C-alpha cells in the first residue's frame, strides 16, 4: 500500500481509463434522473455537444439542483477549474448520501483534470479527487489516485488527507503506515516552507491516529540528522521543522531544546512561534506568552500573539484576548516586510473585530495602505459575524469599495446556516450580476460560486470538516427561478 505510492505513471493512465470506462452511471437516482444528468453532462469519452448550439429553454438545466450544478460546472472553460467544481459537486453528493453518484462525478473530474498541461497545476486537484474518493468510502481507490501524483509535496498532502479521513472513521491502524509514508515524502520536498508545513501537519495527524510514539521517533531521528547537515540554512530550517513537529505532538520541552540549537534568529523565531502557539492550545497561556516575548522576528512575534489571543477568545476571555492582540499590533508595526506586515495586520484587525473592538480594528486598518476596510469587512463576514462586517463596511468611503464589501458579505451569508438569509443573499447577488451583465455574457466560471451555493445547503454538523455542504434534493419554485436566471446570464460559447 505505502510502497505503491512510488509506482510509475503507467498506473495513472490505466487507473484513469478504468474509472472512465467502468464507473456506474449516476447510481442511486431514478432512471429518469440518470437520463437528465447524462443529457446535461455526457458520459466520459463521449463527444460533448457544441457549446454554440445549447438551447437552454429546451434543456432546462435548472429543473433539479444536481443537474443545475453539473451543467454550470461543465461549461467552465478552464480544465482545472472545471475539475475543482466537479469535485465540489461530488463532495456535496457524498454528504447527501449519494456515494455511488459521487463516484461518477469524480470520474468526470479526473477526466477534466487530465486536460491540465502541467503537473504543478494538475497535482493539487488530484489531491482533492483522491481525498474526496476516500471520503466516499473508496480508500483504496483514493490511494491509487494518490499514486499518480508526480510531486512529493502534493502526494504527501493527499496521503495525509486520506489518513485523516481514516482516523476520523476510527481506523487508526490503517492510517499509520500511510502517514509514515507521507512524512517521508514531505521530507523530500525542497521548498522549506512547504516541507515545514507538511511535516508538521502529518505529525499532528499521526498523533490523532494514536501514533505518538511513531511521530516522536521520526522527529527525533530527523533531529539527529539535521545536526549533521553542513549547510547552515538547511540545518537551521531542518531543526525548525523538527521543533515545530515536536511542539505539535505536545513535546514542548524537547521542542525548546531543538530551538536552542538554531543559531539563525529568523528560523529560531519561526520555531518559537509554533512552540508558543502549541503551548496556548495546551492551555499553558503563561508559557505561551513567555515564548512569544522571546521571539526576535517582529512578524513571527505578531503571529504568535495573534494565535494566543485566538485561544483566549475561544475560552471566553475577551479582556485578556484584547490585551494580547495589543501586543500583536505593536509587534506587527515593527515588521520590515511589507507583505507579511499586511498579512499580520489583517489577522490582527479581524481578531479585534471578533473580540468586539471595532474601533481598534479600524485603527489597525488605517496603518496599512494595502489593507482596507473592504478587506476587513470581507474577512469578518467569512468568520460568520455579519453584523460586525456591516459595521466595518459603514467606515468605507468610496462607492466601489462599499459595493465590493457588500458583495463579499452577501457571499458569506449565502454560505451560512440560515437558509432564509442565504436565499435572500443569493437573490440579491444574482440581481446585482443581472444589472451589470447582459443575458448570455457572463463567463461560466464567474457563475460557479453562486450556482454551487444555490444547489447545495450547509451541513448542520461540521465537526468532521469537509464536506461542509450537501446537495439539495429538489428546488423550490423560488430557487428554480433564481437558477434559471443565473444560467441565462452565462456565455456558453467556446473561448
Question: For the segment 241-251, what is each residue's pLDDT rounded down to a tens digit?
Answer: 889 889 988 89
Q: What is the rounded distance in angstroms from the CA atom of residue 369 to the CA atom of residue 362?
A: 13
For residue 470, what are the β-bridge partners? 457
* pLDDT at 420 > cutoff 60: yes
8 Å CB contact between 73 and 85: yes
| Residue 92 within a domain | yes
Q: Return the closest-CA partner of residue 312 out of 349, 269, 346, 277.
A: 277
Does some domain include residue 336? Answer: no
Q: How far apart are the first and last CA of the chain?
A: 42
Q: Is 259 a member of any domain? A: no
pLDDT exceeds cutoff 70 at 206: no
Tell me how far CA of residue 411 lies from CA of 197, 415, 429, in angstroms.
29, 6, 8
> Does position 11 have pLDDT exceeding 80, yes or no?
no
56-60, 301-305, 343-347: which range is least confident on average? 343-347
Task: Give the pLDDT score at 105.
Answer: 94
Alpha-carbon distance 393 to 389, whole Å?
6
* pLDDT over threshold 90, residue 79: yes
How confident is the model over 443-472, as a mean pLDDT? 80
pLDDT at 371 over 50: yes
Q: Which has the higher per-residue pLDDT, 324 or 337?
A: 324
Question: Which of 242, 169, 155, 250 has the alpha carbon at shortest distance from 209?
Answer: 169
Tell me the C-alpha distance between 75 and 67, whole Å: 13
* Region 442-453 average pLDDT: 93
- Work out the burial of residue 33: count CB atoms within 10 Å of its CB; fewer than 13 is exposed, 13-18 middle, 19 or more buried: middle
490 forms beta bridges with 442
The domain of 15 spans 1-46+64-150+424-495
Q: From the CB of residue 425, how many other CB atoms can be counted at a distance below 10 Å?
A: 23
- How far is Cα 203 from Cα 209, in angstroms, rounded to an integer? 10
Whether 303 maps to a domain, the answer reads: no
The Cβ of residue 407 has, within 10 Å, a number of other Cβ atoms equal to 17
Please tell me the total count of domains within the chain.
Answer: 1
pLDDT of residue 201: 62
pLDDT at 170: 83
> Given this model, what pLDDT does residue 146 score?
93
Confidence category of residue 324, pLDDT binned at 50, 70, 90: very high
Q: Is the pLDDT confidence value at 317 over 70?
A: yes
Q: How confident is the model at residue 352 (pLDDT cuts 50, 70, 90)?
A: confident
Q: Residue 4: its pLDDT value, please? A: 33
Judge whether 335 lies within some domain: no
Is 446 within the bounds of a domain? Answer: yes
Q: What is the rounded distance in angstroms from the CA atom of residue 291 to the CA atom of residue 305?
A: 10
For 315, residues 6+ apart whose C-beta sits below 8 A from its C-beta are: none
What is the four-CA torsion angle of 150, 156, 162, 166, rounded to 10 degrees?
A: 150
Q: Is residue 454 part of a domain?
A: yes
Residue 486 clears pLDDT 90, i.e. is over it: yes
Q: What is the mean pLDDT of the chain?
A: 81
Distance of CA 304 to CAs 256, 338, 458, 459, Å?
15, 18, 32, 32
More confident residue, 50 or 284: 284
Structure confidence at residue 397 (pLDDT): 81
Asked, for residue 141, whether it belongs to a domain, the answer is yes
Rounded distance, CA 301 to CA 324, Å? 11
Q: Would you place residue 31 in the very low, low, confident or very high pLDDT band (cuts 50, 70, 90)?
A: very low
Closest of 382, 381, 365 to residue 373, by C-alpha: 365
Instruction: Tell me the whole-structure pTM to 2 decimals.
Output: 0.71
- Using pLDDT thresholds of 50, 70 and 90, give the confidence band for residue 21: very low
Q: Which residue do the cell numbers 460568520 mark?
A: 384
Amino acid at each position: 500500500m505505502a510502497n505503491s505510492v512510488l509506482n510509475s505513471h503507467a498506473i495513472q493512465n490505466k487507473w484513469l481509463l478504468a474509472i472512465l470506462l467502468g464507473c456506474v452511471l449516476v447510481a442511486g437516482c431514478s432512471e429518469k434522473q440518470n437520463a437528465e444528468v447524462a443529457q446535461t453532462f455526457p458520459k466520459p469519452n463521449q463527444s460533448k455537444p457544441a457549446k454554440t448550439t445549447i438551447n437552454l429553454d429546451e434543456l432546462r438545466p435548472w429543473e433539479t439542483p444536481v443537474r443545475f450544478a453539473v451543467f454550470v460546472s461543465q461549461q467552465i472553460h478552464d480544465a482545472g477549474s472545471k475539475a475543482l467544481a466537479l469535485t465540489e459537486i461530488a463532495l456535496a453528493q457524498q454528504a447527501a448520501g449519494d456515494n455511488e453518484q459521487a463516484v461518477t462525478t469524480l470520474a468526470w473530474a479526473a477526466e477534466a483534470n487530465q486536460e491540465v498541461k502541467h503537473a504543478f497545476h494538475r497535482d493539487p486537484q488530484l489531491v482533492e479527487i483522491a481525498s474526496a474518493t476516500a471520503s466516499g468510502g473508496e480508500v483504496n481507490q483514493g490511494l491509487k489516485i494518490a499514486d499518480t501524483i508526480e510531486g512529493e509535496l502534493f502526494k504527501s498532502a493527499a496521503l495525509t488527507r486520506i489518513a485523516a479521513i481514516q482516523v476520523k472513521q476510527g481506523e487508526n491502524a490503517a492510517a499509520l503506515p500511510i502517514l509514515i509514508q507521507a512524512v517521508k515524502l514531505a521530507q523530500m520536498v525542497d521548498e522549506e516552507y512547504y516541507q515545514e508545513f507538511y511535516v508538521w501537519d502529518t505529525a499532528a495527524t499521526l498523533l490523532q491516529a494514536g501514533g505518538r510514539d511513531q511521530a516522536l521517533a521520526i522527529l527525533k531521528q530527523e533531529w539527529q540528522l539535521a545536526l549533521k547537515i553542513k549547510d547552515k540554512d538547511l540545518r537551521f530550517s531542518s531543526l525548525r521543522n523538527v521543533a515545530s513537529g515536536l511542539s505539535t505532538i505536545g513535546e514542548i520541552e524537547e521542542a525548546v531544546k531543538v530551538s536552542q540549537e538554531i543559531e539563525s534568529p529568523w528560523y529560531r523565531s519561526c520555531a518559537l512561534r509554533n512552540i508558543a502557539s502549541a503551548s496556548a492550545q495546551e492551555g499553558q497561556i503563561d508559557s505561551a506568552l513567555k515564548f512569544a516575548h522571546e521571539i526576535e522576528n517582529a512578524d513571527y512575534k505578531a503571529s504568535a500573539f495573534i494565535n494566543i489571543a485566538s485561544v483566549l477568545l475561544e475560552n471566553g476571555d475577551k479582556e485578556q484576548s484584547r490585551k494580547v492582540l495589543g501586543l500583536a499590533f505593536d509587534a506587527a508595526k515593527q515588521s520590515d516586510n511589507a507583505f507579511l506586515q499586511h498579512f499580520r495586520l489583517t489577522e490582527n484587525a479581524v481578531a479585534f473585530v471578533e473580540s468586539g473592538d471595532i474601533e481598534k480594528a479600524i485603527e489597525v486598518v488605517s496603518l496599512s495602505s494595502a489593507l482596507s476596510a473592504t478587506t476587513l469587512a470581507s474577512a469578518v463576514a467569512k468568520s460568520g459575524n455579519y453584523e460586525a462586517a456591516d459595521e466595518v463596511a459603514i467606515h468605507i468611503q468610496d462607492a466601489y469599495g462599499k459595493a465590493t464589501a457588500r458583495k463579499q458579505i452577501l457571499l458569506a451569508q449565502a454560505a451560512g446556516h440560515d437558509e432564509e438569509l442565504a436565499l435572500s443573499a443569493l437573490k440579491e447577488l444574482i440581481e446585482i450580476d443581472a444589472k451589470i451583465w447582459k443575458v448570455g455574457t457572463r463567463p461560466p466560471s464567474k457563475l460557479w460560486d453562486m450556482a454551487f451555493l444555490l444547489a447545495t445547503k450547509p451541513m448542520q454538523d461540521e465537526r468532521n470538516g469537509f464536506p461542509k455542504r450537501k446537495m439539495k434534493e429538489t428546488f423550490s419554485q423560488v430557487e428554480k427561478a433564481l437558477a434559471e436566471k443565473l444560467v441565462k446570464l452565462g456565455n456558453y460559447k467556446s473561448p
